[in-house]
Amino acid sequence: MLFRLVLLIFTLVVMQGTAKQPRSIPKYTDWRLPRWVLPRHYKLRLLPFIEEGNFTIDGQVDILLECMEPTTMIVLHMAEIRIAKDEGLQVYDLVESRRVPIQSYIEDKTRQLLVIGTKNETLQVGNQLNDKLNGFYRASYTENGIKKYIATTQFSPTDARRAFPCFDEPGMKAVFQITLGRQKFRIAHSNMPLKRTYQNEDLPDYVWDEFQKTLPMSTYILAFIVSEFEGLDSPEIDLQERTRFRTWTRPSAGKQTEYARILGPRVLRYFENYFNISFPLPKIDMFAIPDFAVSAMENWGLITYRETALLHDPLRSSAADKQKLSFVLTHEMVHQWFGNLVTMEFWSDLWLKEGFASYLMYVGLDVVEPSLQMGQQFTVQETQKVFAVDSLLSSHAMSMPVKKRNEINGLFDSIPYSKGPAVIRMFAGFLGHKKFQQGLTSYLNNKKYQSAVDDDLWKAMSNQSIDALELPADIRTIMTSWSLQTGYPIVTVRRNYDLQTAIVTQERFYLLSSRNSSEFPLWWIPLTYTTDFNTTYQAWILGTEDGIELELPSAPTDWIIFNVDQIGYYRVNYDENNWKLITQQLLKDHHAISTFSRSQLLDDSLNIARTGSLPYYVAFELSRYLRSERDYAPWYSAFKSFEYLDRMLYQTPSKDKLRFVTSEFFYEKGIRQMATTSCVRTNRFEERKGDSHLTISNRNQLISWACRLGVAECVNNATALYKSWMAQPDNNNWVKPNYKRAVACAAIANSGDEEWDFALERYLSTDLSSEKEMLLYALSCSSSPEALNTLLEWALDANSGIRRQDSATVFGSVSGNPIGSSMVFDFVLLHWDKMVKEFPSLAVLGRLVDTISQTLDTETHLENLVTLSEGGRGDLGTSTRAVQQALERTRINLEWKKRRFQTVSKLLDSWSRVQTFS
């Protein structure tokens, strides 16, 4: 079928002023769209054919344009679309009521542009429902043994142009009038409610569904779906007075939406009150898509999710599954304001929507679903996570220029998603949460239905009566030092114990010591510090200086801790004596220091030690206190650093020393003591009624590590439980859902083909998406290189049973297995061209490269990455920046082995003999 493009409505409005001469036709050299004409209204009609052998689309689009200056050229986006010949392309001037002759027509496939010079020409060029998970695509599922299809969309960031010719930039908003064709037994959905249904005169088995006009919106949040799904209304009837809330799934999965149907309206209402701005649409539909490239997409009024991010079985899903669902759902709800109501002008300011969606997700869930204890996880899930990326010379700023289209996908990394919320949290901390909230409301009201840049945000915040705060500079000056600069500072505190003062300095923190960089950035840093966690003191390091001298409120024998609760986006190092005082306090009574700060101290000390700016023995001595630690965040921080050491030492004799020290002193003395207090019961992987969410989460990570370290009791119990499941495959209670992932992984890692084959069989047969995800991870835990290689090959085989959406998960999971790390890297290099085609957008390839490169540490790895980065294996696709970061990580790992390995090895050797931790 052919796609019919009709620029049918072309309004010519010349702005006042001196008229410019029309540009020559047809050459256009930029990759961004010009602003000579702007879209105001789209009338789009699409008919997808959803059946084996015919996945084509027939359609027509009329675009009303406003001409902002005289021009003889119209430039818009188009990709992989065929225009019907014979009147397929028409332009009208409504002012003069005449058809405008078309002199030229150029399709630039590289830049995905359609350039029209305003002699009628026709061009035979088709469109179809692809299976690449982008644009207007098809996904399949099996219902009662029958394979069925759904037509759905994923337009963000630059794939609306694959569905219809359009002005596909976020700042070019317009009103959309959507009409979708469908067979009578299917249902169609779009962003707005259905207006009317009428018969398709050409196809008796088809009808047209016309939807209400949208509000002004960007192309990337437009959506349409044609399916046989079934919908359920939210039971929260009193919350549906203004907005109808429904979930849609394949029919057999409807019961798994109950939690989402309850949570969704509550979250929506919370943010309506928080922003003091009502959600402007009359409905929200949430769809669980069987094959979806990302966790979810915030399409205005029609939010799409991967099944694992929307479906929940209270008897079979884990606490981690519930947290993921709540996290993603709330993130998408915030987007209904940050991103949809107010949109960043271009992708260079992606953090304006993703940063706020991530930060406010924690704020909202702490009120709507406090049992998840999300606020207590912020620093480990966001701040400390993104520190690893932002420590690289090849990182990027929150706001940064985009020079070509492929760079857009590379922006969807942890910088906007994690650094964004971490910087916003710091900003709210020194501004005050009430003024911060008022500023957000002002920003949203000022720019609603429009696009914005970061200056619009700073202006709104500056109008909130902030004079009393006595800030050292205006908000824009302070905050652009964080949003426009790459990286983050390490604050070093050198105390003068006699004078009770300290010299506090700043410099950018790098993991790579041997680097060529002439940049010395400075930040406006809000310092907080305390000596008892009862009183918090404040000061600023100015963005015009590298340090200050402070008078301290502490005696020479008192410890002092900066960056209280890790509110600030920076690391802190101290002189060795202050580290010693902190360690003594932790060993004496760690509760005297807040949980956030204990987590921060572990993460800072162990990562600063990687650079040589702090001796490793200082960081290791501090970690001794973990034998008494019971909270989730400090253990999470410790395990992340121990994991790095474990991977760096894995191929050396020191691996066993590290695992002995870790298991003997942290597991035996720490975890067993926790078992006696009912915090962990490792013998049966049990839990008590009333255990908090973080108690369960902490127990889970401790069990995972005990089995990873080869603790016999953990491995034996995991294997026994798994075999009991094999004996009774339909028994869903073989172990608590919270521990299935850890137990299955441990059992497969320490067993043979029979256990691996059973997991594969269960993966292919289960109807619960989160269980599929768990089993796919468990399969990657195998100790058999043959099994791991088979899994990698299946990940690229469309007929293997592994969905396209899960391919990247397979590569990431196998690379997390020390046996599979180099194997995945070699496999990806061998199949690079295919990988680029399999993951053409959505930054999936970049994230994959990021994941598999974490522990590359040989000269061969480095040489192969250099070849890859120089184009030796073909186009880098959307992974250019990720490959550069992989290069830098490999150099960091090689440098660590050269400069730190012997030191760490000797420390482990001495401690394994004399038991310093006892």
pLDDT above 90: residue 612? yes
pLDDT value of residue 678: 33
Angle between helix 844-852 and 807-815 (nearest 10): 10
Confidence of residue 154 (pLDDT cuts 50, 70, 90): very high
Q: Within this chain, do residues 221 and 358 fall inside the same structural domain, yes or no?
A: no
pLDDT tens across 817-838, in order? Answer: 989 988 999 999 999 888 887 7
* Contact (Cβ atoms closer than 8 angstroms) between residue 619 and residue 657: no
Report the percent of the chain where pLDDT is more than 90: 70
Residue 473 lies in a domain: yes
pLDDT value of residue 104: 73
pLDDT tens across 275-306, in order? Answer: 999 999 999 999 999 999 999 999 999 999 99
Q: Within this chain, do residues 206 and 59 fall inside the same structural domain, yes or no?
A: yes
The last residue of one of the domains, among 463, 483, 503, is: 483
Peptide bond into 615 cis (omega under 30): no
Residue 385 lies in a domain: yes
Mean pLDDT for the chain?
A: 89
Closest C-alpha to 282, from 369, 200, 213: 213
DSSP code, position 33: P
Average pLDDT over residues 263-271: 97
* Contact (Cβ atoms closer than 8 angstroms) between residue 916 and residue 910: yes
DSSP code, position 688: -
pLDDT value of residue 913: 67
pLDDT value of residue 653: 81
Residue 713 lies in a domain: no
Known active-site residue 863: no
Residue 428 lies in a domain: yes
User: What dihedral do alpha carbons 834, 835, 840, 844 form, nearest 10°?
Assistant: 170
* Contact (Cβ atoms closer than 8 angstroms) between residue 326 and residue 372: yes
335 is in an annotated binding site: yes
Higher pLDDT, 398 or 407: 398
Domain containing residue 134: CATH number: 2.60.40.1730
Average pLDDT over residues 129-156: 94
189 is in an annotated binding site: no
* Contact (Cβ atoms closer than 8 angstroms) between residue 230 and residue 194: no
pLDDT tens across 862-883, in order? Answer: 999 999 888 877 778 778 898 9
pLDDT value of residue 537: 97
Of the candidates 272, 332, 369, 407, the residue annotated as catalytic is 332
The last residue of one of the domains, among 205, 228, 251, is: 228
pLDDT value of residue 128: 85
d(CA 335, CA 795): 32
Tally of structural domains, the chain: 2
Residue 731 lies in a domain: no
Residue 601 lies in a domain: no
Phi/psi of residue 493, nearest 5 degrees: -110, 115
Confidence of residue 843 (pLDDT cuts 50, 70, 90): low
pLDDT value of residue 7: 42
For residue 274, which amino acid is it? Answer: Y
Lowest mean pLDDT among 4-8, 582-586, 800-804: 4-8
Q: Which domain holds residue 402?
A: 337-483
pLDDT value of residue 377: 98
Average pLDDT over residues 491-497: 98
pLDDT tens across 378-396, in order? Answer: 999 999 999 999 999 999 9
User: What dihedral do alpha carbons 446, 447, 448, 453 form, nearest 10°?
Assistant: -150
pLDDT tens across 527-583, in order? Answer: 999 999 999 999 999 999 999 999 999 999 999 999 999 999 999 999 999 999 999
Domain containing residue 378: CATH number: 1.10.390.10
d(CA 512, CA 896): 9
The last residue of one of the domains, among 185, 213, 228, is: 228
Higher pLDDT, 330 or 805: 330
pLDDT tens across 166-222, in order? Answer: 999 999 999 999 999 999 999 999 999 999 999 999 999 999 999 999 999 999 999
pLDDT value of residue 875: 76
pLDDT above 70: residue 513? yes
pLDDT value of residue 376: 98
Which residues neighbour 581 within 8 Å (Cβ) at sequence distance 6 or greater?
557, 558, 559
Residue 607 lies in a domain: no
pLDDT value of residue 838: 75
d(CA 578, CA 707): 36
pLDDT value of residue 102: 77
pLDDT value of residue 668: 52
Closest C-alpha to 883, from 836, 918, 818, 821: 836
Beta bridge partners of 91: 7, 100
> ∠846-849-853 over CA atoms, to 5°?
145
For residue 123, which amino acid is it? Answer: L
Q: Within this chain, do residues 57 and 198 fall inside the same structural domain, yes or no?
A: yes
331 is in an annotated binding site: yes
d(CA 86, CA 72): 22
Residue 77 lies in a domain: yes
